[in-house]
Structure 1
């Protein structure tokens, strides 16, 4: 489940992890955008996800005619992660 930095800091304070909560709050206050971005815990040093290479096409049809199929392509991508800071 993805959490924002502020939500993660509140959870860390509840577990008496004051230093961790303080660092999270500093990151969140560094930029207005950072406090709204959701973050996700990941085990390991890489993240695998699907990325749409091409989108399906949109088609129109007349009454009582068959649909034309429009399919996109999806690529499996692996990103190597690094520690921020």
Structure 2
């Protein structure tokens, strides 16, 4: 599976690459998320519900038959986009260094990636059947960690619980700016704050 950045390297069309660069620059999730091509208008996958039983046995003993439970799930594809039309005369008569079409295509791309980002977090297909459900609709039960009835101060222990709630090792932690400032302040108190930059010059906490 390719990330959108690696895909752009293999598709050097200037217009396409420019749009992809905007998506990556404005959307940290799309920059890190791998993509796959699928046929049709839906993607079906399996989710493990429970594992089968296993046991040790002695000589000539049998096993108790047991199978795991798998639930097939389907994601229906959604369409996000917009029109950006211009009279060819407007483009032909433009003056100065501004490329009218390029400027407005860039604005359209920025609007699209920010709309996708909002939907990735807060999308609700019940409210708007044309969009997909975001993380806040999908995370349930022990996937949601509570800081307390009325919230609470962030601690490194909470961050450890968050990391441990993810199967495997998380690729990244996403924070809004107030939360990022809190984490930085906590790290500074311990003398453990390291800031690097990614390929686009954005700051990353290490």
* TM surpasses 0.5: yes
1:8, 1:21 within 8 Å by CA — same for their partners in 2?
no
Residue 50 of structure 1 pairs with residue 46 of structure 2: yes
Greater helix proportion:
2
Residue 61 of structure 1 pairs with residue 56 of structure 2: yes
**Aligned-pair RMSD on alpha carbons?**
2.1
CA distance in 2, matches of 1:38, 1:4: 4
Large movers: runs of 4+ above 6 Å:
none
CA distance in 2, matches of 1:12, 1:38: 16
Instruction: Rate the CA distance shift 1:56–1:22 in 2: closer, same or farther, 3 A.
Output: farther
Greater strand proportion:
1
TM-score under structure 1 length normalisation: 0.69
Which residue does the alignment assign to 2:8?
Answer: 9
Determine helix, strand or coil for the equivalent of 2:30: coil
Instruction: Rate the CA distance shift 1:54–1:62 in 2: closer, same or farther, 3 A.
Output: closer
Which residue does the alignment assign to 2:19?
Answer: 23
CA distance in 2, matches of 1:70, 1:27: 47
- 64, 72, 79: which one aligns with 2:75: 79
Tell me which of the two structures has the higher relative contact order, counting C-alpha pairs closer than 8 angstroms and 6 or more residues apart: 1
Q: What is the number of residues matched between the two proteins?
A: 79
TM-score under structure 2 length normalisation: 0.33
